[in-house]
Amino acid sequence: MKKGLYANIHAKRKRIAKGSSEKMRKPGSKGAPTDAAFKKAAKTAKMKSGGMVTRGCGAMMPGKRKNFKVA
């Protein structure tokens, strides 16, 4: 399985901390992750732990969940 965006970012930060000459790309520069890439990654970031965890949907406090229809 292919590693995700967040795994790649953390791996690069770890390499930089160890003293590599790499640098993080500035937002908007060529090759840097776009806003769309972060939104896509956020959709799947917590799925491994059993479900979607987002603000406002009651995922953290099921008793406070609002009634809504799932498409």
Q: Which two tokens stand for residue 64?
A: 């406070």
pTM of structure? 0.54
Chain centroid to CA 40: 8
In the numeric block, the tokens 């640098």 are attached to 23
Q: Is residue 14 in some structural domain?
A: yes
pLDDT (tens digit per residue) in 8-47:
889 999 999 999 999 999 888 998 988 888 888 887 666 5
| 15 within some domain | yes
User: Cα separation of 53 and 47, whole Å?
Assistant: 8
Q: Which residue has the tokens 């059993």?
A: 50
Say if 58 falls within a structural domain.
yes
Helical segments of the chain, H only = 5-17, 35-44
Q: Tokens 């979607």 appear where? A: 52
Q: Is there a domain that residue 59 lies in? A: yes
Q: Quick check: is 11 in a domain?
A: yes
Domain range enclosing 47: 5-64
In a domain, 70, yes or no: no
Q: How many domains does the chain have?
A: 1
In a domain, residue 71? The reply is no
